[in-house]
Amino acid sequence: MITATNVKKHFGDIVAVNDVTVSIRDGEVFGLIGTNGAGKSTFLRMVGGVLKPDSGSVLADDKPVYENPPVKADIFYISDEQYFLPNATPKDMAKFYRDYYRSFDMVRCEDLLRSFQLKPEGKINTFSKGMKKQLSVILGVCAGTKYLLCDETFDGLDPVMRQAVKSIFAGELSERDFTPVIASHNLRELEDICDSVGILHQGGVLMQKDLEEMKLNIHNIQCVFQNAQDEQAALGLLEIIRAERRGTLNIITVRGTEREIMNKIHSFAPIFAEILPLTLEEIFISETEVVGYDIKKLIF
């Protein structure tokens, strides 16, 4: 488990990370969402032990990460600006990382390079941005570390390659102790893979939520009642986050379980009532509007 507690990081007068507290459970896919400049990269570098927090603590399995080689040996960090040795090939980089990560799987690496149609002997400096991203993921997965930190990993990947990477992550999660942390500026890229998401804004965590819990406890309803009195009474029983009215049709976003919500509505014998599917984007928009933020301006 990764725990960051009251972590701060300054670069001169610039506050890059401001009092961040986050818990990342083992075996989950954690998404870190935020605009460029929100502090995602700085935070991941502290989790990876590249940077030392000015204050607060970053622990992996209850042990400090910074200047702790045994702990860092179980963390692989994929930077947004990947570094490869000059004139190196994928095979050269695999050998390089094998010297640092004892669990590095050369056979798996060769298999994945073939699957992604990346030439083991090809010069990396001739690869496209997307090909370099693919290679970074392959090297990170084959390192065999428990924690894989991905900074804008899906940026530059086409939809097919993005799904291929997600499939690799899913396979790793099912086969071993594996916890990927994925930073992105776009929530839509992560909604089909993450178990929980934290939103970083201006250096601080705006919110951290378990996605399944969110989906079970917030719903979009459209309903029509027989009269204004029933409508007022029914809506008064609900914890409404957002409400829209189109003629007699009420479109409301409500907090609570599906059964609780529909039982309250049906007790007034509505003319019409149904639950509409909510996207992850809609859920986060509703949640953040409650605390006074327009998330659409932050991460879409």
Average pLDDT of the chain to the nearest whole number: 88
Res 203 pLDDT > 90: no
Q: Domains (ranges, CATH) in the chain?
A: 2-209 (3.40.50.300), 217-299 (3.30.70.100)
Helix, coil or strand: residue 138: helix
The pLDDT of residue 184 is 85
- The pLDDT tens digits of the residues spanning 219-249 come to 999 999 999 999 999 999 999 988 999 999 9
Cα gap 19→4, rounded to integer Å: 9
Other residues' Cβ atoms within 10 Å of the Cβ of residue 298 = 20
Reading the block at residue 276, the tokens are: 């509409």
Task: Reduce the secondary structure of 183-195 to three states and give it as a string.
Answer: EECCHHHCCCCCC
State pTM to two decimals: 0.79
Cα gap 177→217, rounded to integer Å: 29
- The pLDDT tens digits of the residues spanning 135-182 come to 999 999 999 999 999 998 887 678 888 888 889 999 999 999 999 999
How wide is the angle at C-alpha 185 spanned by C-alphas 211 and 64, nearest 5°?
Answer: 75
The pLDDT of residue 15 is 86
Task: Reduce the secondary structure of 191-244 to three states and give it as a string.
Answer: CCCCCEEEEEECCEEEEEEEHHHHHHCEEEEEEECCCHHHHHHHHHCCEEEEEE
